[in-house]
Amino acid sequence: MQPNPTFTVDDIGRLIDAGVIGEDEKFELVEGQIIARAVEEIAHERIKSALYIAIARALPSHLTMGVTTTLRLTDTVMLEPDIAVFPKLVFKRPTRFAQLEPGEANLVVEVAASSLAYDKGLKARLYARHRVKEFWVVDANTRSTWVHSGPSGDGWSSITERGPQDLLTTPALPGFSIRLDEID
C-alpha cells in the first residue's frame, strides 16, 4: 500500500493554476494532506454573518478581518477559518495566500456543525502551535462556544465553554460583545 502523497502550499497553487483543483473548491491542507471541507448550512451562515457584523463594528484601525480567507500557517498547513482577525499588513505581503507569522493572528473563529470534533481537536492544536492568540469554536446547532486562549505548544492554557446566553468578548477587540442566543 502506498502512503498518501504529501503536498505543500506551493503544490496547491500549482494544482489550482493547472485546473486540477477549482478555485471555488472547499478544502484545507493539514500537515501535507488535502482535507475536504463540509458544505455550510444555514445555521452556520447565520452565526458567521452575525459574528462578522459585530466584529467589523469593533475592529481597531490596525487590524483587518478575513472571512473564509485562506491562511498559510506553514509550508504544509493551509486553513480556511470562518473568521480571522489579524494585522492589516498581512494582506500587503506579496504572497498568494494570507501568510500569517506565528503569533500574528489575534482571533480565529470556526463555526462548526458537522466538523465540531475536527475543529476542537486537530485544528485547535494547529492554531495553538501557530500561537493564535485566541481561538473560538462555535457549535452552530447549540450556539455554545469554546474559547481557547494562551497557546502553548500544541495546546491551550485555557479552554472555556460559553453558553449561548453568555456574553462573548475578546481582548483583541475592545468594545466587542455578542450573545449568540440573540441572533435571529
Q: Which domains does the chain have, with CATH numbers?
A: 40-182 (3.90.1570.10)
Q: What is the DSSP letter of 14?
A: H
| C-alpha grid cell, residue 158 | 485555557
Mean pLDDT of 12-36: 76
**Chain segment 75-126, per-residue pLDDT in tens:** 888 899 999 999 998 878 777 777 778 889 999 999 998 889 999 999 999 9
**77-79/107-112 β-pairing:** unpaired
| Grid coordinates of 136 | 473560538
Q: Model confidence over 30-79: pLDDT tens digits? A: 888 877 776 668 888 999 999 999 999 999 999 999 998 888 888 888 89
| CB atoms closer than 10 angstroms to residue 184 | 4
Q: What is the pLDDT of residue 25?
A: 73
What are the φ and ψ backbone dihedral angles of 117, each rounded to 5 degrees? -65, -40
Give the pTM: 0.83
For the stretch 123-177, pLDDT in tens is 999 999 999 999 999 999 999 999 999 999 999 999 999 999 999 999 999 999 9
Q: b/e string for 56-72 if b means 16 or more Cβ within 10 A?
A: eebbeeebbbbbebbbb
Q: Which amino acid is at 149?
A: S
